[in-house]
Amino acid sequence: MQLDSLYQEIILDHYRSPHHAGLADPYDVEVHHVNPSCGDEVTLRVELDGDTVTGLTHHSVGCSISQAATSVMSDLVIGKPVAEGMATYEKFLELMQGRGNVEPDEEVLEDGVAFAGVAQFPARVKCALLGWSAWRDATAQALAKKEGASNV
């Protein structure tokens, strides 16, 4: 229950000036996700070029953890193949569910390692995962859309 381990300076920096905030055109799919229990909301747009995430912008309303996590996630997946982004999500999820016993891999998670402390605040884990769930949903829809188009 150490505050400084939860609110690392990196998290507060991302919260104060989130990266890739502000919805931009063009995009393939837009999704809107909420945490019904607390009311946090994120609107997120993705654009894919083949298997690569070329665009991700978002508009988030919520706490510092959810906003910062969405910002960090944007940095982690933009310009990368979808599969790599999904693998990064798995690593992040493992960290979040690790109750503080998982050593984060900075090579993969970059600024995401700052969220290690969140794992010790079970009520806040869902905040850190909101943006990720929106991105995974939007990406799955975008891939399905492209597949549908190429099958025509």
Token pair belonging to 75:
């940095």
Segments in 2-100 forming alpha helices (H): 3-6, 9-16, 64-77, 82-96
DSSP-based helix, strand, coil % in the chain, nearest 5: 55, 20, 25
Question: Per-residue x/- marks for other proteins, 61-100, CB under 8 A?
Answer: xxxxx-----------------------------------
Question: Per-residue x/- marks for other proteins, 25-64, CB under 8 A?
Answer: ------------xxxxx-------------------xxxx
Sequence-ordered list of residues with C-beta below 8 angstroms from that of 9, at least 6 positions apart, any chain? none
Token pair belonging to 89:
């999500």
Residue 13 within binding range of other proteins, rule CB under 8 A: no
Residue 12 within binding range of other proteins, rule CB under 8 A: yes
Q: Using CB under 8 A, list all residues that contact other proteins.
A: 1-3, 6-7, 12, 37-41, 61-65, 121, 123-124, 127
